[in-house]
Amino acid sequence: MTQKIAKKEISKREAEQRTAQHKRDFAGLKKGWSHLGREVARSVDLGVPVKLGMTMRAWLDSTFEESSSNIFAQLKSYRALKGVPDDVLDAMPASNAAQLTRLPQKDRIDAHIVSQAVSQKPKEFKGTVDNLRESKYGITKSEWATYARRVPKEIHDQMIEAEIKIAHVLQVDIAEDSEKRASNLILVLEAIAQLINGTDESRLKTEIEGDSQG
């Protein structure tokens, strides 16, 4: 169904109308997180950002301004919870929906777990998810450590540029001083680490030092 929606031609006028409706719904707090996430997902599938000459993230920033990171998170939650009925999602707190996405797909649509996501308060449901991850999959809570290095400013600036570049690739915001900045920065640092650690050393040597045979 998504592919058919994505191929449907939408006019610029229709794209502008959908965007204006999103703004009204959000400003008036008329829609719950799942309804808004559902409608935003449909607009993305229809190609609204493209029709308006924007990337998806630029369109979200333009439409929802300082709340765009939250809307992006809601969009991801809605897509990740495919298979859960819309009326159930409507009754589920946004924070619980985000916690539910931490579980494998089969658990996300498990009737008992989904009912807990609807009925439990956010702190309680986070504990439920943590316990499930540990008891069923052996995933324990992360231990935290401070990551800091004192380096010359030019290297510091290069590292910041690298973080911004990866953030752009991941379409996450690390510039705003918001509640999402810390978690987004962790995603960026994890991506950088995975990129380096997942690349063969011979390839890294070629990229850093150049092809000696070239």
Q: pLDDT tens, 112-121?
A: 999 999 999 9
Tell me if the pTM is above 0.95.
Answer: no
Q: What is the mean pLDDT of residues 78-104?
A: 92
Q: Which residues contact 79 (CB under 8 A, 6 or more apart)?
A: 41
171 vs 158: CA distance, rounded Å? 20
Most confident of 108-112, 146-150, 157-161, 192-196: 108-112
80 vs 34: CA distance, rounded Å? 12
Q: What is the mean pLDDT of residues 187-213?
A: 79
Question: pLDDT-based confidence at 176, cuts 50/70/90?
Answer: low
pLDDT for residue 125 is more than 50? yes
Per-domain boundaries in the chain: 2-137, 153-209
pLDDT tens per residue, range 51-83:
999 988 889 989 988 788 788 888 888 998 999
pLDDT of the residue at 31: 57
Q: Which residues contact 113 (CB under 8 A, 6 or more apart)?
A: 100, 103, 107, 128, 132
pLDDT for residue 131 is more than 90? yes
pLDDT of the residue at 2: 38
pLDDT for residue 212 is more than 70? no
Q: What is the mean pLDDT of residues 3-23?
A: 76
Choose among 214, 45, 136: nearest CA to 37. 45
